[in-house]
Structure 1
């Protein structure tokens, strides 16, 4: 694929310190650029037609890049490529198709697309890129709202397209950070009926350790910065006084980066015209990207559960011959539960979980996510 046909070149950063993130980046316009030498690929999205109001999204990705490239490099050898800004299509649907094509190409090369800018409906193209893959996928959406509205702008209705898309390769849709007074109860009922998981803002505050397994389930993540409170991220058309803190948003991105299954991420809905004079929101997004990259280069779990890398725990179910099996990583202390299904339970799925799920099982309580997984797999 000739990537330069799809992307508009960007102004290369100047006067970067040798130990900065930007000094480690490979740019598509460099003569010796080779996409196969990249682990991660940064993609700017500038199409804003999915929003109710037009915004200067080119400025948005420029602001984010400016902040990101001046951060200090973390651990490991960075292999990050910046492809530039994806050229928008003649229609919004054309842009969705281009996002899909580029992400599909990168996923085929085992390269993680990092999409920044644009409206969140562009993550529909991100999701479509997984259609050709053999396994079912789990999508994690971090958003203060649930974009299942019957009418309105594309970025407030696009989730219905994902949930009803054919062919159906969506194993689970998980939602993180919604605020109850911004979400219709019948929309939450839809998620519950489909055995999907949703964790509202208050639950995050009360049980923050339960966030990590939810993130670890995901194959792809989309993050609408409306989920971040306006004090930390004012540059958003629907900014809310309550929400995740900037630190919590970075923690979620750290979890996402460390998730060996997660193979693409998008961060959307930044409006620089609404940001403060210091471009605070761009700084928060840049730091989120930094934590995602750091998490990626700290991946440690192999997923080889029947090896000495994991401790196996067998929990008996009182009054029956049934057992539940849990695994704990010796490297990271993370937990998984085994779910069997199919003919004579011959097929296996290893579901991320928490220590709380394990302790609940030891007291005879089946974990809720185990029940939901069984319901989806039957």
Structure 2
């Protein structure tokens, strides 16, 4: 497949000549004159100048991906080889649905080839196109979404960026193995929606919980195959470039911490950053915040530990017994990274056990004789 037919090149005057050879722009291979050989890359950047799924877009809105790029290219390169290529901006389809399908095809090709695409959106409904890219891949996927609210509006007149999560959850065929939502704000979220998702054994964390238990978010993100991050989850002070700016939300530092966790996740195969509106962005503050988040995602990618052989010497095995119960719960700890995993056995015996990311706190909970909530949720999804 010739991917170049889906993309338009970047402006030469903005991205053709890096200011500093040691900067990110000095190491990237951008699509300016000729389409880069993406097969030799490990990470690929894709701009999504598509905002028909939201309201009030202006001509400046569609410059969002390039505004993020300008700030990203100025940052200094981190550790690792940084085999990163910028494929330019995805050409929108004739209709919004065409764009979803075009994004689906690109994601499917890149993920199937073992590349890690980072998407610079675009309205948040493009998550649907990102999700569709996994439809014909061999395994089910776990989606983690970071947003100030749950985009499941079901009333007349709602825009696609307000109800795309509803489409994902109802998609047929169903290849969604799990869903986690971080940083929603209670006063922006319908209680009945929360209750419905909790009945499906999905994990939902308010912004206050994320902030107070940041380390507990690491295993949540470590189970993701794809992540969708809406800029609305970040407070106005750090990211004013959004349609509905809010004084409450994650700080820029907290958003970067989540991106650091995301990059380190071995099984994460695509990352989408959505909702940036440059027309509201004073002094490019939001573009700088988002560019730094991308930097941490790429830097984390080059800190990945690829050996997950739980029977090797790299892992310590812990067996926890319970009173009046012959069964035991198994935990694994990586000697080098000190990250934890937990084995969850299917109580019906019909499916093989799963070894899933967990936290040290989950181990302590089990050691105190209580069943961790994460074990209960995963057991409910068997």
TM-superposed deviation, 1:28: 3.4
Residues 211-268 of structure 1: per-residue CA shift (max 9 Å, x gap): 1111111000000000000000000001111000000000000000000010000001
Residue 77 of structure 2 corresponds to 73
Alpha-carbon distance change, 32 to 91 in structure 1, aligned in 2, over 3 angstroms = closer
Residue 87 of structure 1 corresponds to 91
TM-superposed deviation, 1:125: 0.8
Output the CA distance in 2 between the equivalents of 1:37 and 1:29.
Answer: 17
TM-superposed deviation, 1:33: 2.8
Partner SS for 2:326: coil
Output the CA distance in 1 between the equivalents of 2:371 and 2:105.
Answer: 41
TM-superposed deviation, 1:27: 2.4
Matched, 1:270 2:281: no
* 8 A Cα contact 2:36 2:87, kept in partner: no
* 8 A Cα contact 1:67 1:283, kept in partner: yes
Matched, 1:53 2:56: yes
Alpha-carbon distance change, 73 to 194 in structure 1, aligned in 2, over 3 angstroms = same
TM-superposed deviation, 1:31: 4.7
TM-superposed deviation, 1:283: 0.1
Of 104, 127, 131, the match for 1:123 = 127
Alpha-carbon distance change, 134 to 67 in structure 1, aligned in 2, over 3 angstroms = same
Residues 330-368 of structure 1: per-residue CA shift (max 9 Å, x gap): 111001100122874661211111100000001111111
Residue 281 of structure 1 corresponds to 286
Of 102, 111, 115, the match for 1:111 = 115
Residue 42 of structure 1 corresponds to 45
Of 161, 168, 173, the match for 2:179 = 173
* 8 A Cα contact 2:48 2:90, kept in partner: yes
Of 141, 147, 160, the match for 2:145 = 141
Output the CA distance in 2 between the equivalents of 1:296 and 1:181.
Answer: 35
* 8 A Cα contact 1:300 1:331, kept in partner: no
Output the CA distance in 2 between the equivalents of 1:345 and 1:121.
Answer: 37
Residues 74-132 of structure 1: per-residue CA shift (max 9 Å, x gap): 00111111111000011110000011000001011100111102101011011111111
* 8 A Cα contact 1:45 1:57, kept in partner: no
Residues 316-340 of structure 1: per-residue CA shift (max 9 Å, x gap): 0111100000000111100110012
TM-superposed deviation, 1:32: 8.1
Output the CA distance in 2 between the equivalents of 1:15 and 1:263.
Answer: 28
Residue 297 of structure 2 corresponds to 292
Of 239, 243, 247, the match for 1:241 = 247
* 8 A Cα contact 2:18 2:26, kept in partner: no
Output the CA distance in 2 between the equivalents of 1:216 and 1:26.
Answer: 29
Moved more, 129-138 or 308-317: 129-138
TM-superposed deviation, 1:30: 5.1
Output the CA distance in 2 between the equivalents of 1:170 and 1:214.
Answer: 15
Output the CA distance in 2 between the equivalents of 1:301 and 1:361.
Answer: 27
Aligned residues: 376
Residue 353 of structure 1 corresponds to 358
Alpha-carbon distance change, 358 to 301 in structure 1, aligned in 2, over 3 angstroms = farther
Moved more, 179-188 or 24-33: 24-33
Moved more, 53-62 or 239-248: 53-62
Of 238, 246, 256, the match for 1:250 = 256
Output the CA distance in 2 between the equivalents of 1:220 and 1:32.
Answer: 26
Could you state the TM-score of these two structures normalised by the residue count of structure 1?
A: 0.97
Residues 275-302 of structure 1: per-residue CA shift (max 9 Å, x gap): 10x2000000000000000000000152
* 8 A Cα contact 2:104 2:132, kept in partner: yes
Over 6 Å off, 4+ runs: none
Could you state the TM-score of these two structures normalised by the residue count of structure 2?
A: 0.96
Matched, 1:159 2:141: no
Output the CA distance in 2 between the equivalents of 1:121 and 1:346.
Answer: 34
Residue 10 of structure 1 corresponds to 10
